[in-house]
A and B are shown apart, each in its own frame.
Chain A
Amino acid sequence: MSVLDIAKGMGVTLGHLFKKPVTVQYPDEPAQIKARFRGRHHLLRHPDTGLEKCIGCSLCAAACPAYAIYVEAAENDQEDPVSAGERYASIYEINMLRCIFCGFCEEACPTGAVVLGHEFELADFRYQDFVYRKEDMLVGVKGSKWQRREAAAKGTAVRVALEAPGRPELEGVEH
């Protein structure tokens, strides 16, 4: 190794010292997520009526290769319906520890009710906290269970450290 080689190497180092760093300052700065990224699921509503799109058909559960979804359906009260149609999901759960974020559920859904969004900050402490219920996924709910717990404890707004362009399937989901 000659002095020249060392100088060349130091040159590269020196060059990088003055370049703009590529490191993402996550979580202080939001991560930039691509539109087609598959993160936590959202359960959508019909934007006009506000009724849930999910009809509790369990097709997502049938398609899921990881057996992560559990659905129980019930009959809508026609006076005060939960979803459009005869039935709705009275229980809708996804176990985020089992889920492999393959998106099959989204493909199987006949109503476009379940869509994989962009949130990925799902780390938590207890097993049961990884089971996301309907209330944790309905459109309008922002953040993972843990983020929402922390925000509630601190009395601040839920902060989700990501930015993503929208995607038409994610009707009504905002970041």
Chain B
Amino acid sequence: MRVKVNDRELELAPGTSVIDAVFAAGYDVPYFCSQAYMSPIGACRMCLARIGAPRKDRDGNWLVDDATGEPKVFFFPTMMATCTTVVMEGMVVDTLSKEVKDAQRGMVEFTLINHPLDCPVCDKGGACELQDRAYEYGTGRSRFVFDKRHQEKHHPLSELITLDRERCIHCKRCVRYFEEVPGDEVLDFIERGGHTYIGTLEEGLPSNFTGNITDICPVGALLDATSRFRGRNWEYDHTFTTSLDDASGSAIVIDARTGRIERIKSGINPEVNKSWIDDGIRFGHEYAGDPERLRRPLLRRGDAFEEASWDEAAAFISERLGGLSGKDVGIAIRADATLEEGVAARALAELIGTGQVDHAPRHGPSLVPVHGATLQDLATATAVIVLGDVTEELPALDLRIKDALKGVSPPPLFAHGVPIADLRLKERMPRARERLTVVAPYRVGLMQHAGRPVVVPVGGEAAWLQAMTDVANGTDPDEGALGMGRAEAQGLVRQWREASKAVMVVGGFVLASAKATDAAAALAKAVGASQLLVPPMANGRGLEITQVLPSHARYDYRGMLAGSAKALLLSGLDPARDPATAARLGACELLVVHDLFLTDTAKLAHVVLPGKSGYEKDGTTVSLEGRFLPVRAAPVDNGEAEDLTGVVKVLGEAFGKRLEGRSVRSARRVLRKELGFDPAELDRLGLLHDLPRRRSGVSVGPRQEATGAALRVPTMVRPEYLARNPRLRAALGDLALRLHPADAAGHDLHDGDEVRVPVDGAPWRLRIVLSEAVPRGVCLVPATPDAPVGRAHVALEQVVHERRALEVA
């Protein structure tokens, strides 16, 4: 469509909104209510422009201007909201004339009538759309001398979000967001006219994705409570990086000030997280500034620790290692380490001469699927099979699945980015629930949106997948395992097969079992679905690709802890919760712990080295879809903390060697050879780079699978840090043991009780949550890096009450 904006003509696809036409032409209109990835609704009336178009007569001929002989342009009698107007052939848009400017100035004045103008105390000040627009398009003077509307100034919408009702300009972005993006309708307008305000029906915001409204609110009405009054927008250092909280590869922006992380906002990566992140990523950063963080290396002297320099620590370690055979040394790193740290760990293992090197948590099976899907594939799929609880395990997937149910393909990008007003998106769009099948051992949140929810018994995934594969292959299935009639199963299989694009998301419950993983692959193959495998931590796939793996299955992390290693270097791992493991660690000839805090394991160590959090590292990570993404360090005051490359550097020096991986740069030299591109050159959007499956079967071969009637379930938050994230903890509560109310009665347990209970023999302090979503006879406890998602034994009969909910009430 040929459109003329002021003096510039351009060619645009039909369906484009006029606001995008204006921006594409390089002009500007002010706007408040439109928002990328959300429906345009024309609520704020700020985006006014004068619009005209030629008309046709009854015979379909253009009406011609007699003077010029050109088609005559008829202007609309009033100013039009450009966000809800679609471009037409020959349209003429005027954004510069005096009438337009007057209209826009008038709208700014109307918008400011009830705005308190308390910019100096507002956390949005300096990055506020209303401030900017009032400055650019307003008159700069107020004629409104009357009393302004007075409403509640700091209403805690939840522990994480503060609402200032006076500042709200009723753009409806937040209300639309909840309905359109996560599909959790928890916020709405209450009252009408000048009395309208934003509120929730019940207390709080029950959704995993509430924080995004603080990003999209055009004013300072909705604000991140963790950063309340912590700094002004121009004072923050912005670091554009990738979240290491889960394997989604979500883009984030870390705002730090004077060496402290004050808040995290969503970054934009159209092919990954669009502009949304979950609350775990957004609000779960407070631990990085915890005063108890280790800032210097600690050396054990008798029963106590003494601060030491890195060189002293390294000298101690190298001396102790000198007396040991290299084979007896184990090195285990947490699976959210960067690729560069992986290279460093490998180099150290090589220097010491040990095959006992591993990353944890790591399920047995490979995380590189045979037919991999991307997140864009998932968002455009017409059939989605979800195995597990993705809303908690990898929340970004939950949102992309909901995109798929809407059936609107990703928008084409303009030079100014994602369309500001994508007219294909509508309010309250139907979601095609029949496209979604969710299979999990309990009722997971996503099942509300699923056409076919299937609750399988604990550990029953393999049987279900096998039975469905049998249905697909036309062989006799085990009908008991199907959980539905055979005809219905056949219908489902047909639907998957016939879908133009089918994607299977495989979560931890399946990946914890090699048999179930194989069965999932077989079913995917049988119905022609591609797969997304959910790694237990951020860089599981990357560390597998870069071969941070043991030389033999029995030398894996569990094997090391079980006694194959006499000396251990643990980075970020804390296995000492289990008393048996703690006893073995205590007997180690050398235990070096590299971590942020003095964990239970660190307390047993000979040397404790201060580590960096995922916000403080430079490096590269690989997301679940195989996208290589840059991780950049925010300016955080962390004392002498080092990531693993720093550890390897000083240890190498103590041995008189310059190891590969002694710095991020040297590790990247190695990676460049292995990967075929330079990770230093990755941009924020990352690179989808397929590497051949190279894993040698022996190194990660099947290990003994966990048993038990209980389940360790994924949580959106990082349980290891929850206690040090006070806001998140207040909002979501302590780590929970969830069970069916009928089961609880038998053990004298009540909702909200705090109990001590052994999980696989390790003591846990948990809060009881009763939920009908949990099948009878099953307990759900949180998974941790040291005890990943999967089956477990919970000894309910040994429950000890720490605090009863009734006493508190």
Report chain B residues within 8 Å CB of A61: 235
Evaluate contact between A73 and B234: CB separation under 8 angstroms: no
- Secondary structure type dominating chain B contacts: loop
Docked complex Cα distance between A111 and B119 (Å): 12
Please report the C-alpha to C-alpha distance between residue A87 and residue B230 in the assembled complex, in whole angstroms: 10
Does any Cβ of B come within 8 Å of A163's Cβ?
A: no
Q: Are A57 and B228 in contact (CB under 8 A)?
A: no
Number of interface residues of A (CB under 8 A): 16
Contact B120 A59 (CB under 8 A): yes
Q: Which residue from chain A places its CB closest to the CB of B153 in the assembled complex?
A: A86
**Beyond A57-B121, A86-B121, is A62–B154 a contact (Cβ under 8 Å)?**
no
The yes or no answer to B133 lying at the interface (CB within 8 A) is: no
Q: Which residues on the B side are within 8 Å of A172 (C-beta)?
A: none
Does A39 interact with chain B (Cβ within 8 Å)? no
Contact A62–B120 (Cβ < 8 Å): no
**Complex formed: what's the CA distance from A111 to B120 in Å?**
9
Nearest CB of chain A from residue B107's CB, rounded to whole Å: 26
Residues of A within 8 A of B154 (CB): 86
A58 touches B228 (CB 8 A): no
Known A55-B121, A59-B120; judge A75-B235 contact (CB<8 A): no
B102-156: which residues lie under 8 A (CB-CB) from chain A? Answer: 120-121, 125, 153-154
Which B residues lie within 8 Å of A111 (CB)?
120
Tell me the complex Cα distance, A61–B229, Å: 15
Which residues in A have their C-beta under 8 angstroms from that of B228? 75
- How many angstroms between the C-alpha atoms of A85 and B120 in the bound complex? 11
Q: Roughly how many angstroms separate A101 CA and B125 CA in the complex, as a whole number? A: 26
Contact status of A62 and B232, CB under 8 A, knowing A86-B153, A86-B154: yes
A window 23-74: CB within 8 A of B = 55-59, 61-62, 72-74
List the B side residues contacting A11 at CB < 8 Å.
none
Q: When the two chains form their complex, are residues A56 and B235 in contact, meaning their CB atoms are under 8 A apart? A: no
A86-B153, A86-B154 known; A57+B234 contact, CB < 8 A: no
Q: Which residue of A lies closest to B125 (CB)?
A: A57
Q: Would B234 and A87 count as touching, CB distance under 8 A?
A: no
Q: Is A110 an interface residue (CB 8 A)?
A: yes
Interface residues on chain B, size class: 10 to 19
Inside 8 A of B258's CB, which chain A residues have their CB?
A: 72
Nearest neighbor of B257 in chain A, beta-carbon distance: A72
Distance (Å) between the CB of B257 and the closest chain A CB? 9
Closest residue of chain A to B235 (Cβ to Cβ) is: A58
Interfacial residues of chain A within 83-100, with CB under 8 A of chain B in the complex: 85-87
Is there contact, CB below 8 Å, between B229 and A62? Answer: no
The 0/1 profile, CB within 8 Å of A marked 1, for residues 601-637 of chain B is: 0000000000000000000000000000000000000
Q: Are A55 and B234 in contact (CB under 8 A)?
A: no
Q: Which residue of A lies closest to B154 (CB)?
A: A86
CB-based contact A57/B232 at 8 Å:
yes
Mark out the residues of chain A between 149 and 171 whose CB falls within 8 Å of any chain B CB in the assembled complex.
none
Q: Say whether, besides A58-B235, A86-B153, A86-B154, A73 and B120 are in contact (CB < 8 Å).
A: no
Closest to A73 in B: B229
Extra contacts, 12 of them, besides A55-B121, A85-B121, A110-B120 (Cβ < 8 A), are A56-B229, A57-B120, A58-B231, A58-B232, A61-B235, A72-B230, A73-B229, A74-B229, A86-B121, A86-B229, A87-B121, A87-B229
